Amino acid sequence: MYQIKYKRLGMTLIELMMTVGLMTIVMGALFTLSISLNDTVQNYNATITATDEARRALQILIPRLSHSSRQTINWNELPGEVLRFRMPMDLDGNGTCVDVNGNLELSDTITIQRDIQDANGDGLRDNQLVMIQGNNVTVLANHLFNPPEAGNPDGTFNDTNGNGRLDRGFFVTGQNNEIQIFIDTVGQSRRGHQFVINVDERIVPRNP
């Protein structure tokens, strides 16, 4: 007689459970990797955005301060969080910034500070840096570090974010006809962790 052999089709319950378990582990690992990559990309983009905000402000400020009149800078209020100055301007239309009497013609006062009074009406205040000249308001940077870390009389400071330096958001010092500008902007990770980007620049005004 011929013996009929049956081939077992499918899987046993144990094999099925092992397969599901392995798939769960693999899917969990892929999910974790995906979250990690997403966090990395978001942190990178937030860093780029914060850096671009600070550098954009400097790109606007550097040429203006370089051509500003030294006598019009608010030296007596520096170091501080507000910068004021005036720039040479051809007011009489003679093709130069000097009038017929040889005096330097100057623009309206330009003020650089946090938008504390919401001068441009966009609802952003302490975390926005603006340039105000007359009725014109230009946003220089968003995402300023806020509130500023406070310095102490002995030179120490309260390092609230634990990065080992004094972060003020916007701060200006002046010494020996040289202006130094500090801009601190903030990025934030998906998990809510903040990191601070710090840029600074030294500028010497060219005009008296």
Q: How far apart are CA 127 and CA 111, in angstroms?
A: 16
What is the model's pLDDT at position 84?
97
Closest CA to 171 of 193, 199, 191: 199
Q: Is the pLDDT of residue 7 over 60?
A: no
pLDDT band at 4 (very low <50, low <70, confident <90, very high): low
What is the model's pLDDT at position 86?
95
Residue of 13 and 205 predicted with greater confidence? 205
Tens of pLDDT, residue by residue over 44-73, are 777 788 889 999 999 999 999 999 999 999
Tens of pLDDT, residue by residue over 33-46, are 776 777 676 777 77
As a whole number, mean pLDDT of residues 83-109 equals: 88
Q: Tell me the whole-structure pTM to 2 decimals.
A: 0.79
Q: How far apart are CA 108 and CA 167, in angstroms?
A: 30
As a whole number, mean pLDDT of residues 74-89 equals: 94
pLDDT band at 115 (very low <50, low <70, confident <90, very high): very high
Tens of pLDDT, residue by residue over 138-179, are 999 999 999 999 888 887 888 888 888 899 999 999 988 999
As a whole number, mean pLDDT of residues 65-82 equals: 94
Residue 115 Cα distances to 119, 150, 171, angstroms: 6, 19, 14
Domain range summary for the chain, segments of one domain joined by +:
13-203
Residue 155 Cα distances to 80, 158, 165, 176, angstroms: 15, 10, 12, 21
Tens of pLDDT, residue by residue over 8-23, are 555 677 777 887 888 8
C-beta of residue 129 within 8 angstroms of C-beta of residue 116: no
Q: How far apart are CA 191 and CA 35, in angstroms?
A: 11
Helices marked H in the chain: 13-66
What is the model's pLDDT at position 10?
57
